[in-house]
Chain A
Amino acid sequence: MSAQGKPKAMILVIDDEMIVHQSISRILEAEAYQVDGVLRVDEALERLKKTPYDLVLTDLMIPEKSGMEAVKAIARDYPDMGVVMFTGFPTVDSAVESMKLGSLDYLPKPFTPDELLAVVERSLERIHKIRRERELEDLYAEAEKAIQSSLELKEILNSINENVVRLFKVKGSSLLMLNKKNQTLQLASSTGLSEGYLQKGIIDATKSVPEVLKSGEPVMVQADQFESRLQYPEEARREGIFSILSCPLKVQDKISGILRLYSPQSRSFSGEELDLLRKFAEQGARAMENALAYGKVRDDLEALQKYVPE
């Protein structure tokens, strides 16, 4: 293991020869991976029940149970874990079979340290992507439920902010409602932002990323464009913000406000993330509409109750 800090990833190697374990460990440990080794497939499968490895590297020909069985079991039982086959007897057939079963790659032996590292890095990247997608999917389902679990406007606004920060791992977020009469954006709710930043002044909808209202689409502004596109660039910098994503709150082409996400580094959003954000903002806007309709009837009821004699 690396001398200092957390390992980059936990890797389990299955091979019946000690010499292979030694050489793989040497290469990977030098790059700050934690490497454990076992000599048999069954031993590996036992260990996986207890330890959450990121990646398993397995030889093909192992006494008792073949590496192909390890690939099959891991791909079936641990969808969040990567597995890669290596072998001193590479054939087209075993390469195709192992990858059909779920091996992320197939590495013929002998390999150079660079070849091994390239395969490990590429496989870990794949696994991280799969995990992130799954996590996003789960968090999204929770978030959508959360904003629909209430008819109280304040609760919904807070829930939108909290959930959007958790979903996209950003520093903070705010909900700005559009006042159509004077074209200002009024802060309705926020999370993760300082009082000083929130009180920075009146936000003019025609000066603060106005493209959002025109296009009805999310718009990203990075730190180097703050001066030309933000109304309060200085304040944003002082707050430690490096990028701002503005997403319209829109139901059937009617924009009621803007949901803003603030990142402390220049963050980019993938197409999938933007789709999810659009969907979330739309569901948020609907939940807000429902809360307003509910609130109105409740206010009407309260107003009438004043007239009821004791």
Chain B
Amino acid sequence: MTTEIKGKILVLDGEPQVLNELTRILDADHYQVSPCLTGKEALALFKEKDFDLLITEWRLDAQDGLDGFQVMESVGRLDPTLALVVLTAFPDVDSAVKAMRLGAKDYLKKPLVPEQLLALVGKLIEDRQALLSRREGQAVFEELKRRISSSLNLQEVLDLIAAGVAKGMGVKGCTISLLDKKRDQLKVVAYQGLTQKYMEKGPIDPARSLSGMVQSGQDLFISDVTKDNRVQYPEEAREEGIKSILSVPLLLKQELIGALRIYTATAQHFSPEDFKFLHSLADQAALAIENARSYEDMKNKYEALRGDLVDYFEDGWT
């Protein structure tokens, strides 16, 4: 096949003519169609292969006694992300309500209107793919949370977060910066997906890049780096191929300890869910960073003391 298929669709209807028509319309629009005449056949096929969408007649007068609703219930249990649509020659209120209650995205009446069907199918497949990629991002985040909470090595924790966020959000790059002890310098301590040249572009003035954030503990979104005067190095950012920057504060018991920054190459929309994830990750990152810091402080103290004691035994305490 020369064109990539846009999605896999299971079509269930007792009428061979309907199946032929649906297959023709969807196939012409580059969907892979699996037509089935009975519920039994559809369920068997569903267990074998992955699908994005099921289009079914609710009334199937087949020998196996399964109607479209029973098939919807079964496949919905096996894959709750599967999109469901009823297309029927027997529309009535009861079956429409039942279909929607079972999670159908729509209930269409025959005769089918090809444009209407294709518009709906296109949207449902797109929504499902977005859902799947969100889930993938979630899984990456979960794994990341596990990994950062099992390390007490500060640099390792920081590198894991930077790499994990870039991957989980599917963005160009990510940086983590921490406030120094005097709390006036924001220093980048880990980065991913950005060049060393860009990272060494010059000192970051916290008064500018952090002012809003320090005061409110809020996110800062710069949708276009070339048109925003809060950006300190717009020329360098453009050269680096950065379009937008999202800063999320790293807060430890409401106190700012640093920032997590996300760099995108194209104009990107962040959904409320994206923000929810990022905040939950930022919370956990702050805790992991704090734990690793406490551990390293303790370890440094121990090593310093041991060094002192060695000197003492060799040269006498001074």
Contact = CB atoms under 8 A, between A and B. Distances in A.
Interface of A: 90-92, 95-96, 99-100, 104-106, 108, 141, 144-145, 148-149, 151, 251, 279, 282-283, 286-287, 289-290, 293-294, 297-298, 300-301, 304-305, 307-309
B32 to A, nearest CB: 27
Interface string B138-154: 00001001100110100
Nearest to B290: A149
A294 B298 contact: yes
25 contacts: A92-B91, A92-B92, A92-B93, A95-B96, A95-B100, A96-B106, A99-B100, A100-B105, A105-B97, A106-B100, A145-B283, A145-B284, A148-B287, A148-B291, A251-B150, A286-B149, A290-B152, A294-B152, A294-B298, A297-B295, A297-B299, A301-B302, A304-B306, A308-B305, A309-B312
Nearest to B301: A301
Given A95-B97, A287-B149, A305-B305, 4 more contacts: A293-B295, A297-B295, A304-B305, A309-B317
Q: Which 7 A-B pairs have the closest CB atoms?
A: A99-B100, A301-B302, A148-B287, A95-B96, A90-B93, A286-B150, A92-B96
A208 B306 CA distance: 46
A293 B109 CA distance: 66
Contacts of A92: 91-93, 96, 107, 109
Contacts of A104: 101
A297 B302 contact: yes
B305 to A, nearest CB: 5
Nearest to B305: A304
B268 interface: no
Contacts of B291: 148, 151, 290, 294
A283 B93 contact: no
A105 B149 contact: no
Interface in B111-162: 142, 145-146, 149-150, 152
Tell me if B's interface is mostly helix, strand, loop or mixed: helix
Contacts of A309: 312, 317
A95 B106 contact: no
A100 B106 contact: yes
A91 B295 CA distance: 67
Contacts of B308: 308
B150 A149 contact: no
Contacts of A91: 93
Interface in B57-106: 91-93, 96-97, 100-101, 105-106
Contact of A95 (B93, B145, B306): B93
A305 B142 CA distance: 41
B265 interface: no
A149 B280 CA distance: 14
B101 A105 contact: yes
A43 B18 CA distance: 48
Interface in B260-318: 280, 283-284, 287-288, 291, 294-295, 298-299, 301-302, 305-306, 308-309, 312, 317
